[in-house]
Structure 1
Amino acid sequence: MRRIIIILFLFVQAFAFAQTKQMSLEDAVYGRYTYLSPKSMSGLQWIDDEHFSFVEDKNIVTESAKTGDQKAVVTLDELNEITGSTFRRVPSHRWISEAKLLFLSSKKHWLIDLNKKEAEYVIELPEKAKNANFSESRQFVAFTQGDDLFITLTDGITKQITNDGGNGIVNGQTVHRNEFGISGGIFNSPKGNFVAFYRKDESMVKDYPLVDFMAREAEYNPVKYPMAGMASHHVTLGIYNIETGKTTFLKTGEPLDHFLTNVAWSPDEKNIYMAELNREQNHMQLNCYNVASGEKVKTLFEESSDTYVEPLYPIQFSKVNPTEFYYLSRHDGWFHVYKYNTDGELVQQITKGEWEVTNMLGFDAKEETLFIEATIDDPLQNNIYKVDVKTGKTERLSTETGVHRGNLSPEATYLIDRWSANEVPGKVDLFSSKGGFERIIFEAENPLEEYQLGENKLVTLKTKDEKYDLHGRLILPVDFDPAKKYPVVVYVYGGPHSQLVTKGWHNQARWWQYYMAAQGYIAFTLDNRGTLNRGRAFETAIHRKLGELETEDQMQGIEYLLSLPYVDTDRIGVHGWSYGGFMTLNLKLKHPDIFKVAVAGGPVVDWSMYEIMYGERYMDMPQENPEGYNNADMSNYVISLDGKLMLIHGVQDETVVMQHSMKFLRECVKQNKQVDFFAYPAHPHNVRGKDRVHLMEKVSQYFFENL
């Protein structure tokens, strides 16, 4: 017994000794994305229904889901020899067949025959090519160069699709500032006979002045920035026929400043389906267009809302019945899967309940079972489920608490589950879709194992009206003593499409919060109304009154902090960036008695100076909602400024333009209010790279010196 006690004592001592390393600022900022980021399986993808591949030790390795047998199919040295390249790591790639891999670099695409260890062909793009989009069916690459669209074929022939780029005309690129789920501007057809592309005319949008101060003589580099309530760009969708070389534009009609999104091809390539949203963003039509003529065939269905409609996902056609498709929509207040036919008739709502489907992973071969990611068990988790299409009955496949992402094999026999949890830095599990858990494929080591970290715990509060739960994360200082009093730094974002508190690794904390905990601060974060994965009512509650309910909810978090005996109630600070900068100003200016110190980065000060697509969705136009815009204008609250406030802004910011900070600073000067300001030359909206350490040192020092 004595020996067991001694062994346990030594183990505890060793564990305590191992966890003595303190989080430095470089660890928190640079290390977060490098040496303190958990290792993962690189290049993980399915080859066929039984085999998957991944990159390990500079080799592409295949593994049998059935037996676990592994085989290295190509090494980095072999790849460099085949392609005549000098890759230092295996480049991006995807399987075309069981023996053929497509490798993609920024300017070349190789199709490699693994059996022969040779390239079947290489498609080489021009030096200035961008937005490359490879067609597997026809084996060409569509890309942009400047503001025009081109394709290059396997024989090396390049064809120019558009000739009108420039002077406000942009082809083949993203539009509507990447809102509405848009991530690209090129849409190759399923059989490779056509290329659909966005054409954006922004000639009517005023040039917004940005200046490059790093040139010998400062250079004027204007951008198009359509502000709320002002002229918006016009978008159309062109269809290029590979055989004829002709382009047909869909006749989407007027008004010209509406939004075109969620582009989807019919399997037979005869039609294009697209969500069309009015500028007010409260009415959406899912429309079908004829590819050959560009004529509108029909409107399949419409969605309207008193707040806004936000189509995010293109329709997915059934592989069993080409006259039916699946659609992910918040039609009933929560993201769920619907089946429609091409006449626009609702066949079935497949999933139901007060929870969100966050991703459709796919179906089995007969489309009798649907595999999804969803928040059924908990809005702080993302789990994997299978759904009986006929009955809607759901069964959870992922077994552990955490945030799970699934990857379904082509015939849905197997499922790969990549996940993390508070104390799990990263795991990859293999499941049989019928038999459940098979085995662990990969398990990451804990890169923070040697660090002494503050206790990280979740808290659940209520909104002021007790209608909703609010989820927060509290990190206590290292060597916490409940008999002492500690200052608090609140980190806030609070905007739509965000969720800062989950049950992923370390409850999704930022390492900077651990750094502050190592310096003797409590770190707190709360997700307020308006944030993600809580349903339409929770998210749209902020409509036309940004900053009001979010601030009210954040103050519920403050009430909780003030109730804790170890919180120094005279030393509370707040920091946030972008929407979080807006929220930082809301909290500091509306509650100066609570927040002693604040650092607002890239803050939205006046929503009338923000861009149309995002700003008008949540606030409507300034002329339609003058009271809401006035109440959300942070310069109107400068009179209440007390204590220490710093604004930080990137000089080249194209998202929240510098004008916001300038307006606020000018008002401070007018009212003789002292405020601190720092600008990051050459940086856009976010300060990245080694300069980010400088940024976070400045933020941290501001709290150290003033809080």
Structure 2
Amino acid sequence: MAFVKYSQIFMKFSKLLVAFLFATTTAIFAQDKKITLEEIWSGNFVQQRLQSLQSLNNGSEYVVLNYDQANGTTSIDAYSYKTGKQTRTILNSANLEAIKNFQDFSFSKDEKKILLSTEVEPIYRHSSRDIFYVYDTESEKLSKLSDKKIQEASFSPDNSKVAYVYENNIYYLDLATGKETQVTTDGEINSVINGITDWVYEEEFSFVKAFAWNPTGEKIAYMRFDEAGVPEFSMDLFGKDLYPQQEVFKYPKAGESNSKVSLHMYDVAGGNSEEIKLGDYNDFYIPRIKWTNDPMLLSVQVLNRHQNNLDLIFVNAADNSAAVVMNETDKAYIDITDNLTFLSDNSFIWTSEKDGWNHIYHYSEEGKLKNQVTSGNWEVTNYYGYDPKSKKIFYQSTENGSVNRDVYSIRLNGKSKTRLTNQTGTNSADFSADFTFFINAFSNTETPTIYTLRDSKDGKIVREIQNNKKLLEKEQSYQFSPKELSTIEVNGEELNMWMIKPANFDASKKYPLLMYQYSGPGSQSVSNSYFGTNDYWYQLLANEGYIIACVDGRGTGFKGADFKKVTYKELGKYEVEDQIAAAQKLGERAYIDASRMGIWGWSYGGFMSSNAILKGNDTFSMAIAVAPVTSWRFYDSVYTERYMQTPQENASGYDENSPLNHVEKLKGDYLLIHGGGDDNVHVQNTMRMVEELVQANKQFRWAIYPDRNHGIYGGNTRLHLYTMMTNFILEKL
């Protein structure tokens, strides 16, 4: 009997020992788990984010568009800011007979009617054609706006009408009578556009809707684009049919003819339009129009083609007269924003870099400066709005360092400034309609995004809304390395840098270096924020024994106007010099193998990486360029001329820094990638680069993704792309 007992004890001990060893081995193995490309591009490491929300007028509730996957229906649900609990359902498509679901919505000013978007057909980056319905929240009646796919539907201020654009003409529908009125008649595809922007305005000034009801609904101000003289660009989309489909659209390249833009005022009662004579301008842009708090006074921003002279004009809709209220000039260029805010007395808030840093200013209705609200050697990076009750302005800034962001409030007189966020890192805000609350999104290099509801008076946390602890828990089974923030002194400047080292980093060993950068004017790639998708790819490369680094050189943003605008008229000169010099300085570190340094980038970053391996052929042994600009002569007028003027005025600036003119310097390994359906940076850039490399008898690798746009995505495309780049790095660096 004793033998049996000891045997049982031994068996139990053995089982426990095996279990312990298995658990220990599993734990050790889990800590060594390697990340894969499939995991990255299947969304395994995507941060949980708040759904896009819209504050209701009451300021105590917000609404969210929810999708019921099981039933295929959508609903507009209201939630309490204070509790986060659902308070009511404003609309559920399950209760509608005409439509099963909708993709987007917008409220009328009084929130009694809702425009519902269905059958959305994307056009370019911001534009689409939709089938719209109008839902009345009081009568619960749903009515179809039009059988046609239309653009930019917009309620009149009293909800009685909806204006929209169809085939480049403006219409409005009287919702009570069902009568449709055509406002313009000369719209024609690839010739004349009314009420929406052309391709280059949409891409570079970031708006599509180019008409606006005045506050009383008596007038419609609209822009007209005569693009008959704009050269056409065409590209073949291959699809799966027997013959490719050719897409043709107006695209003004640098130095070529732009659309002729004009401003018009339509009188609803009279049914007639009149062109507004803005002044003696030639070859200009209208990047913004906005009605002031005077219902008959329209503000218009007019920018010269060089984009260094801006007039703020007030148009009196009673007699259509126009007068310049304020003028701003810059030795380089002026950035356009949506920050213009009119107060009850029609004085206005404006942001400007006029003192060398981006700050907030307060002007009288007559355009006289009342006071500079913020000042200092730091940048206002986001303007959130003005609360008339507290007389406070809310904004985001770099007051705690250019890689950090904090949210502040300040009185209109520039006093009582209050920091509303208290954690060092990247803080942003989404305010309720009445500025009672704001939702703070916070992250830093160690913390994925945490969403909290805060009181706008003092920034105190009301409640935590959402965090990403599950993502952190998931990442614990991988050997992820920290993203180390620092600076590096290059060409007389302290440049911001991050670095990711292998998890088992040994300072006595030498590692190959891969640099990433974007480097475009005013951009930022080095910030105190958590991993993005590419950062997980960098972790994969770090696991393979690479050091990855990123340096924001001269020309990037948030360190003052002089730092940003030093690249004016010479894109690709100082930025490339800084990347080469930074690589050389990093190559002096004992743990970096200076003979194995590579660089990669996408879009502007592809332009940079191409130049870096050519001009820095003794520094970089490998480069990858995705969707690169290879000559600014090929890119659009608005973006390019903002920084370069025209090729006719600045030929040397365009050509001396074009990779096309330096191909004979190629020594290292070069991979060139582009999307064949890129309407932004045309595949022409890569085709010309290929031809120059071939004629110089330089060997390289290249790939075209058919029909893919500038983002090169869809299906397995991103996985394929990053697999190709990974294999190239492993083989060549």
TM-score, length basis structure 2: 0.86
TM-aligned CA deviation for residue 696 of structure 1 = 1.7
Cα distance between partner residues in 2 of 1:15 and 1:94: 53
Instruction: Tell me which of 605, 610, 613 is aligned to 1:588.
Output: 613
Structure 2 SS opposite 1:221: strand
Structure 2 SS opposite 1:581: helix
Q: Which residue of structure 2 lines up, in the alignment, with residue 551 of structure 1? A: 576
Correspondence 1:39-78 to 2 at 5 A: 39-47=48-56, 48-54=58-64, 62-65=78-81, 68=83, 70-74=85-89, 78=92
Correspondence 1:139-178 to 2 at 5 A: 139-155=160-176, 156-166=178-188, 167-175=190-198, 176-177=200-201, 178=203
Cα distance change of structure 1 residues 381 and 560 upon mapping to structure 2, 3 Å threshold: same
Question: Does the CA-based 8 Å contact 1:463-1:553 persist in structure 2?
Answer: no
**97-106 vs 359-368, which moves further:** 97-106
Question: Does the CA-based 8 Å contact 1:180-1:310 persist in structure 2?
Answer: no
Cα distance between partner residues in 1 of 2:441 and 2:133: 28
Cα distance between partner residues in 1 of 2:695 and 2:508: 45
Cα distance between partner residues in 1 of 2:607 and 2:310: 29
User: Residues 323-367 of structure 1, C-alpha deviation per residue, up to 9 Å, x if partnerless?
Assistant: x11112222222211111221111111111122212222233345
Cα distance between partner residues in 2 of 1:628 and 1:616: 11
Correspondence 1:286-325 to 2 at 5 A: 286-296=312-322, 298-313=323-338, 315-319=340-344, 321-322=345-346, 324-325=347-348
Q: Which residue of structure 2 lines up, in the alignment, with residue 3 of structure 1? A: none
- Give 1:596's aligned amino acid: S
TM-aligned CA deviation for residue 138 of structure 1 = 2.9
Q: Which residue of structure 2 lines up, in the alignment, with residue 362 of structure 1? A: 385
TM-aligned CA deviation for residue 229 of structure 1 = 1.9
TM-aligned CA deviation for residue 541 of structure 1 = 0.6
Cα distance change of structure 1 residues 531 and 644 upon mapping to structure 2, 3 Å threshold: same
User: Residues 224-265 of structure 1, C-alpha deviation per residue, up to 9 Å, x if partnerless?
Assistant: 221222222211122333333322222235544211112111
User: Residues 120-156 of structure 1, C-alpha deviation per residue, up to 9 Å, x if partnerless?
Assistant: 4434333421233344543543322222222334344
Question: Does the CA-based 8 Å contact 2:307-2:334 persist in structure 1?
Answer: yes
Q: Which runs of 5+ in 2 are unaligned?
A: 1-20, 69-74, 119-129
TM-aligned CA deviation for residue 84 of structure 1 = 4.5
Cα distance between partner residues in 2 of 1:521 and 1:664: 29
Question: Does the CA-based 8 Å contact 2:103-2:117 persist in structure 1?
Answer: no
Structure 2 SS opposite 1:222: strand
Cα distance between partner residues in 1 of 2:626 and 2:305: 29
Q: Which residue of structure 2 lines up, in the alignment, with residue 119 of structure 1? A: 140
- Give 2:100's aligned amino acid: T
Question: Does the CA-based 8 Å contact 2:557-2:564 persist in structure 1?
Answer: yes
Correspondence 1:423-442 to 2 at 5 A: 423-442=446-465
- Give 2:51's aligned amino acid: S
Q: Which residue of structure 1 lines up, in the alignment, with residue 545 of structure 2? A: 520
Q: Which residue of structure 1 lines up, in the alignment, with residue 99 of structure 2? A: 85
- Give 1:158's aligned amino acid: E
Question: Does the CA-based 8 Å contact 1:248-1:293 persist in structure 2?
Answer: no
Q: Which residue of structure 1 lines up, in the alignment, with residue 505 of structure 2? A: 480
Cα distance change of structure 1 residues 518 and 241 upon mapping to structure 2, 3 Å threshold: farther
Q: Which residue of structure 2 lines up, in the alignment, with residue 380 of structure 1? A: 403
Structure 1 SS opposite 2:720: helix
Number of residue-to-residue matches in the alignment: 686
Instruction: Tell me which of 275, 294, 299 is aligned to 1:249.
Output: 275
- Give 2:95's aligned amino acid: E
TM-aligned CA deviation for residue 63 of structure 1 = 4.6
Q: Which residue of structure 1 lines up, in the alignment, with residue 663 of structure 2? A: 638
Cα distance change of structure 1 residues 633 and 419 upon mapping to structure 2, 3 Å threshold: same
Instruction: Tell me which of 246, 253, 265 is aligned to 1:220.
Output: 246
Identity of aligned residues (%): 29
Question: Does the CA-based 8 Å contact 1:497-1:532 persist in structure 2?
Answer: yes
TM-aligned CA deviation for residue 196 of structure 1 = 2.5
Cα distance between partner residues in 2 of 1:102 and 1:185: 18
Question: Does the CA-based 8 Å contact 1:573-1:595 persist in structure 2?
Answer: yes
Cα distance between partner residues in 2 of 1:83 and 1:357: 48
Question: Does the CA-based 8 Å contact 1:281-1:617 persist in structure 2?
Answer: yes
Cα distance between partner residues in 2 of 1:599 and 1:277: 37
- Give 2:185's aligned amino acid: N
Structure 2 SS opposite 1:338: strand
Q: Which of these two proteins has the greater Rg computed from alpha carbons?
A: 2
Q: Which residue of structure 2 lines up, in the alignment, with residue 503 of structure 1? A: 528
- Give 1:607's aligned amino acid: W
- Give 2:94's aligned amino acid: N
Cα distance between partner residues in 2 of 1:128 and 1:92: 16
- Give 2:456's aligned amino acid: S
Question: Does the CA-based 8 Å contact 1:546-1:618 persist in structure 2?
Answer: yes
Cα distance between partner residues in 1 of 2:209 and 2:112: 29
**517-526 vs 685-694, which moves further:** 517-526
Instruction: Tell me which of 664, 670, 677 is aligned to 2:689.
Output: 664
Cα distance between partner residues in 2 of 1:453 and 1:234: 57
TM-aligned CA deviation for residue 590 of structure 1 = 0.8
Structure 1 SS opposite 2:307: coil
Structure 1 SS opposite 2:692: helix
- Give 1:70's aligned amino acid: K
Cα distance change of structure 1 residues 74 and 29 upon mapping to structure 2, 3 Å threshold: same
Cα distance between partner residues in 1 of 2:248 and 2:117: 32
Cα distance change of structure 1 residues 260 and 356 upon mapping to structure 2, 3 Å threshold: same
Cα distance between partner residues in 2 of 1:679 and 1:529: 31
Q: Which residue of structure 1 lines up, in the alignment, with residue 41 of structure 2? A: 29
Cα distance change of structure 1 residues 684 and 104 upon mapping to structure 2, 3 Å threshold: closer
Correspondence 1:254-293 to 2 at 5 A: 254-293=280-319
User: Residues 29-70 of structure 1, C-alpha deviation per residue, up to 9 Å, x if partnerless?
Assistant: 341xxx43222232433332333344678576545445x373
Cα distance change of structure 1 residues 56 and 701 upon mapping to structure 2, 3 Å threshold: same
Q: Which residue of structure 2 lines up, in the alignment, with residue 407 of structure 1? A: 430
TM-aligned CA deviation for residue 119 of structure 1 = 1.9
Cα distance between partner residues in 2 of 1:170 and 1:500: 37
Cα distance between partner residues in 2 of 1:63 and 1:333: 43
Question: Does the CA-based 8 Å contact 1:607-1:615 persist in structure 2?
Answer: yes
TM-aligned CA deviation for residue 276 of structure 1 = 1.0
TM-aligned CA deviation for residue 684 of structure 1 = 2.3
TM-score, length basis structure 1: 0.89
User: Residues 630-683 of structure 1, C-alpha deviation per residue, up to 9 Å, x if partnerless?
Assistant: 211212211111121121122222222222222222222222112222111112
Question: Does the CA-based 8 Å contact 1:428-1:440 persist in structure 2?
Answer: no
TM-aligned CA deviation for residue 305 of structure 1 = 1.9
TM-aligned CA deviation for residue 428 of structure 1 = 2.0
User: Residues 388-407 of structure 1, C-alpha deviation per residue, up to 9 Å, x if partnerless?
Assistant: 22243421001212222212
Question: Does the CA-based 8 Å contact 1:532-1:539 persist in structure 2?
Answer: yes
TM-aligned CA deviation for residue 599 of structure 1 = 1.3
Q: Which runs of 5+ in 1 are unaligned?
A: 1-8
Q: Which residue of structure 1 lines up, in the alignment, with residue 473 of structure 2? A: 449
User: Residues 592-648 of structure 1, C-alpha deviation per residue, up to 9 Å, x if partnerless?
Assistant: 122111111121111122221111111111222222122112122111111211211
User: Residues 469-504 of structure 1, C-alpha deviation per residue, up to 9 Å, x if partnerless?
Assistant: 311221122443444332222222110242122112
TM-aligned CA deviation for residue 102 of structure 1 = 5.8
Structure 1 SS opposite 2:569: coil
Cα distance between partner residues in 2 of 1:139 and 1:450: 52
Correspondence 1:412-423 to 2 at 5 A: 412-423=435-446
- Give 1:226's aligned amino acid: P
User: Residues 566-601 of structure 1, C-alpha deviation per residue, up to 9 Å, x if partnerless?
Assistant: 322222221111111110111100111221111111
Q: Which residue of structure 2 lines up, in the alignment, with residue 563 of structure 1? A: 588
Q: Which residue of structure 2 lines up, in the alignment, with residue 5 of structure 1? A: none
- Give 2:696's aligned amino acid: Q
- Give 2:251's aligned amino acid: Y
Q: Which residue of structure 2 lines up, in the alignment, with residue 351 of structure 1? A: 374
Question: Does the CA-based 8 Å contact 1:501-1:508 persist in structure 2?
Answer: no
Correspondence 1:648-687 to 2 at 5 A: 648-687=673-712
Cα distance change of structure 1 residues 421 and 95 upon mapping to structure 2, 3 Å threshold: farther
